[in-house]
Amino acid sequence: MTVSQEATITQTENEPPASTAFSATRTRAILLVMLYWAVLVVPLALASLGGRVPAGQFIKQIALGFGLLGLMIIATSFILAARYQWIAKPFGLDAVMLFHRRMAMVGFGALILHVILMASLNIRLVTRLWVPWRFQLGRIAILLLATQIGVSIYRSRLRVEFEKWRFSHRLLGLAVLVFAFTHGLLASDAFPPWPLRMFVMAVMAAALVSIMWTRTVRPPRLRQYRYAVHDVRQINRAVWQVQLKPLPGGQALQYNPGQFAFFHFHRSPPSASGEEHVWTIASSPSETDGLMLAIKELGDFTRTIGSTVKPGDAVTVHGPFGRFSHRFHADTGELVFIAAGIGITPFRSMIRWITDCAEDRRVLLLYANRCADEIPFLEELTQCQNRSGGKVRIVHVLSRPDKNWKGEKGHIDVALIQKYCAGNLSGKTFWICGPGAFATTLIESLRAAGVAANNIHNEAFCLVHAPVQSDGRGRKLKALCNVIGITGLLMVLLFAVVRTDFLSAHGNNKRHAAHTAVNHAHSHPWPGRPD
């Protein structure tokens, strides 16, 4: 047994049993979902404590409810995007970011409904150039949010560089948050009871703290995870291998095979700007000589890896993240890994771990590439297969092979998967990593072939624009967003019903109607102006 294997097995023995860890993770996930839902709906419950208003203001109360709901969603989006481990660990950071993206659209929809309903009561709110500043700030917030979402969706078509997009995304988001909050704070009837004011301010404070944490507090804390580039070499025509080793006195990253991290390269010379990117850790924890990355030339930064990243350059690592690891699913049966191109990186890590630690797991890897010369880690994967004792089987599939290729040709589909699974897809878990269209096609095909969604695992190939897949996590994510959106709508309607005094519309409780009318008049400091 090697030294690396001894260290690895010792680490495994010290970890809690898989069943215990799964139970704790599931409990935390449920509590976090309940906390998020409470942050959205508690403000509506607190707002209902502000006393009743005449029945004629029912539409206005619905509008205010949507505005409050949208503000809470926008505020919590900063917390979701802060990469807190305690939030990301139960779900996977990719799922958290996809949830953040989908809920941002829900929040935008709530704010649009707020504007439409308020305009239905007073069209001058949208037709007049000049309105009081409290409403002008609301207008600006909506326009900035629409711009932010539009640029995010069409960034590739607009050819906006990633770093510029990320900077503008954060800046616009902060402006939307400040303007929307100020609008709500100044607008009449917005946060009347003091418990509501305190709650909204607490959520806003948490959002601002998250911004400060990511920009000022976290970077110094990550210095303990400083690595240095040890070696840079080209694997094939478009893939580079970068070997990182911890700097003296630095702390080595503890991770599971298949996880990813954020890597901030501090390029040389010192005047060069550093950039942060997310990559899967291609090395295995059983390899104790640092971290290894396999980076494909895709963007402006990755195309210059070979010329600008030099041995000795410092690299800050933030992670690990993700749940795309067989170690989080220790009770599953045979593992079927399906990869395309650079999507091999998490599987290289897991296969290396399984063979180094002699795990009793059976693995089938189906790996798609164009030609044999473009297969990363070809020799290493073959070596892992040879020393696995028959537990690891690797099948290469080439779409453009040369005439000497004797292996599988074409593309990976369900027929090919069934061929190498002896026609039996039950009792297996399928792990897919590759471009979005590749993953989508295979997931839908496996689902059509009768594979349960919970037996299909996929991780977002890109945290920014990846689609929400129909695997187990993707289906749960869609369901969660739908449930939160529908319950938010129902809570807004319930808030409007509770807040409105329908009896006053029929002449009953005249004293209360007169009292609310006086208060309503006092809350409008701009007579004749739109409100």
Q: What is the CATH number of the domain that holds 379?
A: 3.40.50.80
With H, G, I as helix, E, B as strand and everything else as coil, classify residue 18. helix
Q: Are residues 349 and 263 in the same domain?
A: no
Distance CA 293, CA 306 (A): 13
Q: Are residues 185 and 65 in the same domain?
A: yes
Q: Are residues 404 and 485 in the same domain?
A: no
Cα distances from 134 to residues 23, 57, 98, 114, 192, in angstroms, run 48, 20, 32, 15, 16
Q: Are residues 188 and 75 in the same domain?
A: yes
The pair of three-digit structure tokens given for residue 116, joined into one six-digit string: 């439409």
Q: Are residues 93 and 185 in the same domain?
A: yes
520 lies in a domain? no
Q: Are residues 260 and 280 in the same domain?
A: yes
Please give the residue range of the domain that contains residue 156.
Answer: 54-192+478-501
135 lies in a domain? yes
Which residues lie closer than 8 Å to 59 by C-beta, 6 or more apart? 117, 120, 121
Q: Are residues 144 and 84 in the same domain?
A: yes
Report how far apart the first and last C-alpha atoms of the chain are (Å, whole number). Answer: 77
Q: What is the pLDDT of residue 84?
A: 94
Count of C-beta atoms within a 10 Å radius of residue 270: 7
527 lies in a domain? no
Q: Are residues 307 and 422 in the same domain?
A: no
The angle, 0 to 180 degrees and rounded to 10, between the axes of the packed helices 162-186 and 58-80 is 140
Which residues lie closer than 8 Å to 327 by C-beta, 6 or more apart? 256, 257, 258, 353
Q: Is 42 exposed, middle or buried (0-12, 13-18, 19+ CB in 10 A)?
A: middle
Q: Are residues 295 and 341 in the same domain?
A: no
250 lies in a domain? yes
Distance CA 88, CA 525 (A): 46
Selection from 113, 41, 53, 55 nearest residue 515 by Cα: 53
DSSP states of 344-399: GHHHHHHHHHHHHTT-S--EEEEEEESSGGG-TTHHHHHHHHHTTTTSEEEEEEES
435 lies in a domain? yes
Q: Are residues 356 and 317 in the same domain?
A: no
358 lies in a domain? yes
Q: Are residues 317 and 346 in the same domain?
A: no
Q: Are residues 89 and 183 in the same domain?
A: yes
DSSP states of 218-253: HHHHGGGGEEEEEEEEESSSSEEEEEEEEPTT--PP
Q: What is the pLDDT of residue 267?
A: 66
244 lies in a domain? yes
* pLDDT tens, N- to C-terminus, the chain (531 residues): 333 344 343 344 344 444 455 567 889 999 999 999 999 999 999 988 877 888 888 999 999 999 999 999 999 999 999 999 999 999 999 999 999 999 999 999 999 999 999 999 888 877 788 888 888 898 899 999 999 998 888 887 888 877 788 888 889 999 999 999 988 888 755 556 788 888 999 999 999 999 999 988 888 888 778 899 999 999 888 899 999 999 887 788 999 999 999 999 886 554 444 678 899 999 999 998 899 999 998 776 777 787 788 899 889 999 999 999 999 987 777 999 999 999 999 999 999 999 999 998 999 999 999 999 889 999 999 999 999 989 999 999 999 998 889 899 999 999 999 999 988 998 899 999 998 889 999 999 999 999 999 999 998 767 667 788 888 899 999 999 999 999 999 999 999 999 888 655 444 444 444 444 434 433 433 333 334
Look at the chain and report how many structural domains it folds into: 3
> Residue type for 517, please?
A
Which CATH number is 261's domain given? 2.40.30.10
32 lies in a domain? no
